């Protein structure tokens, strides 16, 4: 079997660590792992498949001889090193938002548009976490009746803000239980026992940057250039796994039974839809795995061509690290 030299840019962060874990878990054909991070992490060790690997400081030279670079760093880091990665002859599968809307860069969810990965010119973008989960949940329905528009509300776990977000929720809960004030650092407001209806900065017409990602990225992934999405993104005091409520508007009526039949066979989807027996997707059930759960499928009472559904997925895995590695797997075939 052919093996590949794989670098992880941002190897010490939450997504980078998850990428390394999933590379081993999925038995990706790694001949050599090159973990890359800042100077302060260089020289430290991590374990991959039972062996210690030394973290290197990122540099242009570090990409020489690398086949695939998995990006788990912020936009500025991705933008800084992308030219060196491409010049070294590697393919950069980037989890940041830096290149997602670049017309020359494929934006890929392997269950939806795997062929787009072959069109890369050295960079492939991984979509936003909520976009991946939502599009995976609804794309099979788009194949039987084109989706004209969506209204979505996301309920996003604190792990979407990284390790600091998870620590803040835990620390605030502990402090409040002891009668102490909740210290606010990572989020704009206390997140324990609260909801924050803003993720990202204001972008256009009162929508945040996070909310507009589903609008623009959904168009590109599902090849629906006229798709319109009204989205509200909310940070919730859940540790892991994002949930999304979706209203879908089609060009014709789609029955609940038809939708269930299609979604039961959809790649990357698990149908969990039995309200009478209290069976529906929840963050606790979807954390730590890579399938998007879909349920609460029902008619939209405001539109005869509409359906409503609820979906959940682990945004650290399928919404970030696993989707990147699935893209990399496409490159090896």
Residues pairing with 32 in the sheet = 5
Among 129, 233, 308, 312, which one carries the catalytic annotation? 129
3-state secondary structure of 332: coil
Does the active-site annotation cover 242? yes
Does the active-site annotation cover 308? no
* Cα–Cα distance measured from residue 300 to residue 260, given in angstroms and rounded to the nearest whole number: 15
Q: How far is CA 102 from CA 92, 99, 124, 247, 319, in A?
A: 14, 5, 10, 28, 20
Among 135, 215, 231, 242, which one carries the catalytic annotation? 242
* Cα–Cα distance measured from residue 267 to residue 292, given in angstroms and rounded to the nearest whole number: 9
* Cα–Cα distance measured from residue 263 to residue 89, given in angstroms and rounded to the nearest whole number: 39
Determine the Cα angle at 123 with ends 117 and 124, to 5°: 40
DSSP 154-196: EEE-GGGG-HHHHHHHHHHHHHHHTTPPPP-SSSSS--TT--B
Active site residues: 129, 242
């Amino acid at each position: 079997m052919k093996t590949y030299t794989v670098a992880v840019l941002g190897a010490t962060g939450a997504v980078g660590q998850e990428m390394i874990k999933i590379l081993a878990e999925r038995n990706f054909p790694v001949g050599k792992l090159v973990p890359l991070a800042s100077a302060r992490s260089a020289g430290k060790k991590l374990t991959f498949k039972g062996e210690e690997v030394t973290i290197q400081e990122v540099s242009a030279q570090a990409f020489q001889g690398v086949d695939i670079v998995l990006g788990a760093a912020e936009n500025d880091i991705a933008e800084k090193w992308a030219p060196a990665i491409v010049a070294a002859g590697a393919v950069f599968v980037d989890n940041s938002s830096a290149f997602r809307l670049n017309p020359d860069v494929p934006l890929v969810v392997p269950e939806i548009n795997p062929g787009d990965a072959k069109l890369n010119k050295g960079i492939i973008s991984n979509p936003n976490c909520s976009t991946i989960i939502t599009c995976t949940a609804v794309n099979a329905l788009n194949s039987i009746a084109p989706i004209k528009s969506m209204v979505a509300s996301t309920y996003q776990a604190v792990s979407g803000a990284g390790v600091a977000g998870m620590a803040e929720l835990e620390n605030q809960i502990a402090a409040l239980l002891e009668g102490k004030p909740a210290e606010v650092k990572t989020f704009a407001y206390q997140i324990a026992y609260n909801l924050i209806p803003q993720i990202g900065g204001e972008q256009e017409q009162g929508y945040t940057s996070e909310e507009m990602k589903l609008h623009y990225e959904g168009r590109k992934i599902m090849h629906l250039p006229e798709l319109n999405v009204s989205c509200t993104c909310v940070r919730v005091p859940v540790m892991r796994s994002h949930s999304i409520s979706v209203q879908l508007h089609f060009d014709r009526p789609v029955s609940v039974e038809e939708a269930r039949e299609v979604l039961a066979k959809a790649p990357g989807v698990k149908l969990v839809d039995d309200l009478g027996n209290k069976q529906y997707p929840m963050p606790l059930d979807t954390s730590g795995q890579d399938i998007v759960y879909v349920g609460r499928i029902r008619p939209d009472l405001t539109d005869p061509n509409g359906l409503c559904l609820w979906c959940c997925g682990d945004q650290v895995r399928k919404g970030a690290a696993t989707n990147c590695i699935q893209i990399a797997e496409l490159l090896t075939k």
